[in-house]
Structure 1
């Protein structure tokens, strides 16, 4: 099982990037001093400032870029020791970025969810600008950030405006907007999506709402309403969800089918998909075919992945156009 997961999450979710130097050529580099001359990340943040404008058409302009609010947040949250003792890559918002949210060193400690927000700006290991590639990267928050390189490097919608400020225990990149982690859990995502009304009803019929809402680090392949309608139309004398539950042998059968749509061993983003057979939460196999991309269930049925990387605070959702069956 461990080997298949390691193959499925190609390269390992913790081994983040390869070389993409050209995309970072327009942002400001910092000279990398000898290792014994370096300070720890919180100490480096206290002194970080660049003068003048960066030659990047996407970057917000200011006379200088300081990081006092981010550094103050580390102290207020009690995370300074975490940022001092571990090998990390930090995407640090400027003071101007926090100011756009009305935040400064004096009031940053009052921000709800401060610890979660700060951890959403941190990736394990030292990743320099020359190592960035497009795709999702897991943060210490658990949720992923998306790296994009077209039209200048970005993290989610925030421009990377300063790169490769090295610390003794990692590297800091400056960004021009605060990154906000997903706030809804997966059950809330289902509840709020008009294409998941039947899936919502099925989860409620199975009485597993709390499991969907609170199980951490899961990947859900969520069938649309049309996928359920197509399934009902394909089965004789099955017209309603109640009929489907009876067809599946009762609530336990429904739970098994729903569990067949969940990969419970980590958050797997579209950029991590590779051709492999994996084991779902139900204990049954499903095959990933990246040529679609699509999933192939035990009966050989194919389900296209039609939308990807919808993040909740406890996992990620991909949308599929056919219900997977493990009958």
Structure 2
């Protein structure tokens, strides 16, 4: 027998198995009336992400599927003409979660988070190569489930069990989260004033080597926040920024202090979703280290969740879980006016977070309730979290030799 024929015969079982998976998946979708999604199976099979979706759903493992309705896919096809097969595979991998989440959905304002199949550097940039999360909840007044998606809520219109799949039919196609800068600049999120200040950091010039050196022709803070794996921002609302206008104006000529203040709103090295930052004990708190190396405390009471850095005025978290491809943003109602920094502590916290993330599972099944390297929330519990990279170090994914002296960020 020729080597070529032997190779072809060796591939036959794999090809037949893949075709069987395609047929099985398509038939399961069609049986629920999801004909439009069933018709996309061949297109999904053209990409690695799409084949992962098909193989996962055709396996014996339990999966949770947020399946767009026929009408949702029709609208998507109209709005997304020209979407290539690779993007299509990535988009639909964001609709699939390994594991069974039945009876795990909480009532809003509480949420449930699970890791999807969406991964890959083009779409996700998380510590430890973790997959992107999907967030959903339930309206307590009528019991309707809904998923959070880039500033809008996508409703679940039907739920059923098909073989090994828990299927939630949704009225829109879910779009994977975009860059951090897009989240900050989206007017629906009400944090554009912070975005403007971050953008202005790129225009700061060299001042004799004594302050931050950043120029617009190399890199800026916005680029760092877009490209660093694991960024959490506690972003003051536009109203909060306006109230703090006098304090911020006083820092306009002090780039070191302004850099430190912004860094004290950021945790670097960890994506801290709302389920990871709420203490579970009365009177308890969580402590993280900011990108400026200062202690950040989070505590909750009957009026909400509050964040404070050192002796800054506390701020209440008024909106949670604005997702980005590399992290998350929470909106707060006050500016954390603290201009201190500690590069050594920032570096230590960042190294702790990134080291722990390397041992995490990319797409572990089950709700996201504990961060890599973080202790469970409790009374007086400290959590390992990211800080800025040490002076003259290099943030992951960047190799540009520009230095944030005040915060300890080396681009």
TM-score under structure 1 normalisation? 0.66
- Is the 1:217–1:264 Cα contact (8 Å) retained in structure 2? yes
- TM-aligned CA deviation for residue 284 of structure 1: 2.1
Aligned to 1:317: 329
Give distance in 2, aligned partners of 1:49 and 1:205: 50
Aligned to 1:25: none
Give distance in 1, aligned partners of 2:309 and 2:270: 20
- TM-aligned CA deviation for residue 174 of structure 1: 4.2
Q: 1:166 to 1:108 in 2, by over 3 A?
A: farther
Give distance in 1, aligned partners of 2:168 and 2:40: 11
Superposed counterparts of 1:265-280, under 5 Å:
265-275=269-279, 276-280=286-290
Number of corresponding residues? 262
- 1:173 matched to 2:167? The reply is yes
> Over residues 288-318 of structure 1, what are the superposed CA-to-partner deviations in whole Å (9 max), with x where a residue is unaligned?
1222211021115211122333333433222
- Is the 1:295–1:302 Cα contact (8 Å) retained in structure 2? yes
Superposed counterparts of 1:95-114, under 5 Å:
95-102=70-77, 110=84, 113-114=87-88
Aligned to 1:261: 265
3-state SS of the aligned residue for 1:290? strand
Pick aligned residue for 1:45 from 16, 25, 31:
25
3-state SS of the aligned residue for 2:174? coil
Aligned to 1:201: 196
- TM-aligned CA deviation for residue 278 of structure 1: 1.6
Gap runs ≥5 in structure 1: 1-38, 53-63
- TM-aligned CA deviation for residue 89 of structure 1: 2.8
Give distance in 1, aligned partners of 2:171 and 2:22: 19
Give distance in 2, aligned partners of 1:273 and 1:41: 40
- TM-aligned CA deviation for residue 164 of structure 1: 2.6
3-state SS of the aligned residue for 1:244? coil
Superposed counterparts of 1:1-327, under 5 Å:
44-48=24-28, 64-66=33-35, 67-83=37-53, 84=55, 88-102=63-77, 110=84, 113-123=87-97, 125-134=98-107, 135-137=111-113, 138-141=115-118, 142-148=132-138, 150-156=142-148, 157-167=154-164, 171-182=165-176, 184-193=178-187, 195-207=190-202, 208-233=221-246, 240=249, 243-246=250-253, 250-275=254-279, 276-291=286-301, 292-324=304-336, 325-327=338-340
Give distance in 1, aligned partners of 2:171 and 2:43: 15
- TM-aligned CA deviation for residue 223 of structure 1: 1.4
Give distance in 1, aligned partners of 2:52 and 2:86: 20
- Is the 2:105–2:136 Cα contact (8 Å) retained in structure 1? no
Give distance in 1, aligned partners of 2:93 and 2:28: 20
- TM-aligned CA deviation for residue 79 of structure 1: 2.5
Aligned to 1:23: none
Give distance in 1, aligned partners of 2:294 and 2:117: 30
- TM-aligned CA deviation for residue 213 of structure 1: 2.6
Q: 1:72 to 1:155 in 2, by over 3 A?
A: farther
- TM-aligned CA deviation for residue 111 of structure 1: 6.2
Q: 1:188 to 1:298 in 2, by over 3 A?
A: same
- Is the 2:65–2:166 Cα contact (8 Å) retained in structure 1? yes
Give distance in 1, aligned partners of 2:298 and 2:21: 40
TM-score under structure 2 normalisation? 0.54
